[in-house]
């Protein structure tokens, strides 16, 4: 007898030990792979609040570790879906146990070398399929211009020392950054692995009709209705914040101090942004400047760098109202969850 034969499930129990046991149906496993700035935090808050969903932040299939499987703290009888959700699944950033990026993975800007991202995305997709071949996959996208604006805002929130003009004016930097955002390539990759068990939704539907967005996910994995959590998550930075926070970051970089001191100041700067402590100061700087900050505008040529990357989505009826948002040259709305 081979090992495969020995490990194969036994269809008949001749000893009587297993008689009378009713085997449960397999619970669907939803893997949410994001795209950045598409309401991922909001979705994760909903997964966590839903009593019929097994989800842990940064966990796998609803568990933080193997110990969670052993602990009788979860009422498994109520679970109708397991969820794995993390944006790094779609923008994989290799880090060691200390959170540092390996030296051979670092690009010129100090982040992950962007030409490695497509290969990383493929490796993550293949690994997820090896682990969970029957899983359902949720991908959420965002319109081109709106996504670029929101992405710039998130980078400012993380300490970016570049103005919007500097950020959007560096074509080479943008081309490298946009490598991971090719919707057509990523969607095709997951559909090739997981077949028809891939749901692709526009962030704009979450923004405009959150109930319909939620029902699409519930129908996809067979979940009963569960309301969204209250509140608003990750509100967008205001124009004066987007103008002055990079200015503060630049001032920190120019200080004649030791690198470790500079890094400590930058960490405090980021904490002050995220906690809102810098907001009154940035508003005061804007007033004193005599030139109120204007909303960030994306130069027309920037979205052209993404031409064709979203064409695969445009045949989906859910994307019909947002067609212009996914075509270069559109002027997309920025209202919403950020």
Q: What is the DSSP string of 292-313?
A: --------HHHHHTTTTTTGGG
pLDDT (average), residues 216-229: 92
Residue 1 pLDDT greater than 70, yes or no: no
pLDDT band at 90; cut points 50, 70, 90: confident
pLDDT (average), residues 292-314: 85
- Measured in degrees and rounded to the nearest 5, phi and psi for residue 254 equal -85, -10
Give the whole-angstrom CA distance, residue 168 versus residue 259: 28
Residue 139 pLDDT greater than 90, yes or no: yes
Residue 21 pLDDT greater than 70, yes or no: no
More confident residue, 131 or 333: 131
pLDDT band at 112; cut points 50, 70, 90: very low
Query: Domain 25-153+179-235+301-326 adopts which CATH fold?
Result: Rossmann fold (3.40.50)
Residue 109 pLDDT greater than 60, yes or no: no
Q: In Å, what is the CA distance from 258 to each residue of 249, 250, 264, 311, 312?
A: 16, 16, 10, 49, 50
Q: Which one, of 121, 122, 181, 220, lies nearest residue 313 by Cα?
A: 181
pLDDT (average), residues 272-294: 94
Give the whole-angstrom CA distance, residue 267 versus residue 220: 41
pLDDT score at 178: 74
pLDDT band at 101; cut points 50, 70, 90: very low
pLDDT digits (tens, 9 = 90+) for 33-89: 988 889 998 999 999 999 899 999 999 998 888 888 887 656 667 889 999 999 889
Residue 251 pLDDT greater than 70, yes or no: yes
pLDDT score at 93: 65
Residue 102 pLDDT greater than 60, yes or no: no
CB 295 within 8 A of CB 239: yes
Q: Which of 77-91, 105-119, 172-186, 250-264 has the highest mean pLDDT?
A: 250-264
More confident residue, 256 or 8: 256
More confident residue, 251 or 234: 251
| In the chain, % of residues over pLDDT 70 | 79
pLDDT score at 106: 40
Strands 53-54 and 198-202: unpaired
Residue 5 pLDDT greater than 70, yes or no: no
pLDDT score at 74: 64
* Chain mean pLDDT for the chain: 83
pLDDT (average), residues 219-237: 83
Residue 293 pLDDT greater than 50, yes or no: yes
pLDDT (average), residues 134-140: 96
pLDDT score at 151: 85
pLDDT band at 113; cut points 50, 70, 90: low
Give the whole-angstrom CA distance, residue 52 versus residue 252: 47
pLDDT (average), residues 260-268: 94
pLDDT score at 22: 59
The residue assigned the tokens 């297993």 is: 18
pLDDT score at 111: 45
Q: Where along the chain do its domains lie?
A: 25-153+179-235+301-326
More confident residue, 203 or 10: 203
pLDDT (average), residues 161-165: 92
Residue 4 pLDDT greater than 50, yes or no: no
């Amino acid at each position: 007898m081979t090992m495969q034969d020995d490990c194969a499930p036994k269809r008949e129990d001749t000893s009587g030990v297993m008689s009378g046991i009713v085997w449960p149906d397999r619970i669907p496993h939803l893997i949410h792979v994001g795209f950045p700035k598409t309401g991922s935090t909001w979705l994760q808050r909903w997964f966590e609040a839903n009593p019929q969903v097994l989800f842990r932040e940064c966990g796998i299939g609803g568990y933080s570790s193997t110990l969670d499987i052993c602990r009788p703290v979860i009422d498994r009888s109520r679970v109708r879906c397991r969820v794995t959700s993390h944006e790094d699944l779609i923008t994989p950033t290799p880090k060691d146990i200390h959170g540092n990026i390996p030296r051979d993975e670092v690009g010129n800007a100090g982040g992950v070398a962007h030409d490695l991202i497509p290969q990383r995305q493929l490796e993550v997709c293949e690994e997820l399929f090896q682990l969970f071949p029957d899983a359902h996959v949720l991908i959420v996208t965002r319109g081109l211009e709106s996504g670029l604006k929101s992405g710039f805002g998130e980078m400012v929130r993380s300490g970016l020392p570049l103005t919007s003009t500097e950020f959007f004016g560096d074509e080479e930097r943008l081309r490298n950054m946009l490598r991971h955002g090719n919707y057509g390539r990523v969607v095709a990759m997951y559909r090739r692995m997981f077949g028809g068990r891939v749901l692709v939704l526009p962030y704009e539907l979450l923004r405009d009709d959150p109930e319909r967005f939620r029902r699409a996910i519930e129908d996809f994995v067979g979940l009963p209705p569960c309301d969204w959590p209250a509140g608003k998550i990750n509100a967008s930075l205001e124009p004066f914040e987007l103008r002055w926070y990079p200015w503060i970051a630049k001032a920190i970089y120019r200080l004649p101090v030791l690198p470790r001191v500079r890094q400590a100041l930058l960490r405090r700067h980021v904490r002050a942004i995220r906690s809102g402590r810098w907001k009154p100061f940035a508003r005061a700087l804007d007033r004193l400047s005599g030139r109120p900050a204007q909303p960030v505008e994306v130069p027309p040529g920037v979205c052209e760098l993404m031409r064709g990357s979203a064409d695969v989505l445009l045949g989906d009826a859910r994307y019909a109202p947002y067609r212009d948002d996914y075509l270069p040259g559109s002027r997309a709305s920025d209202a919403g969850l950020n």
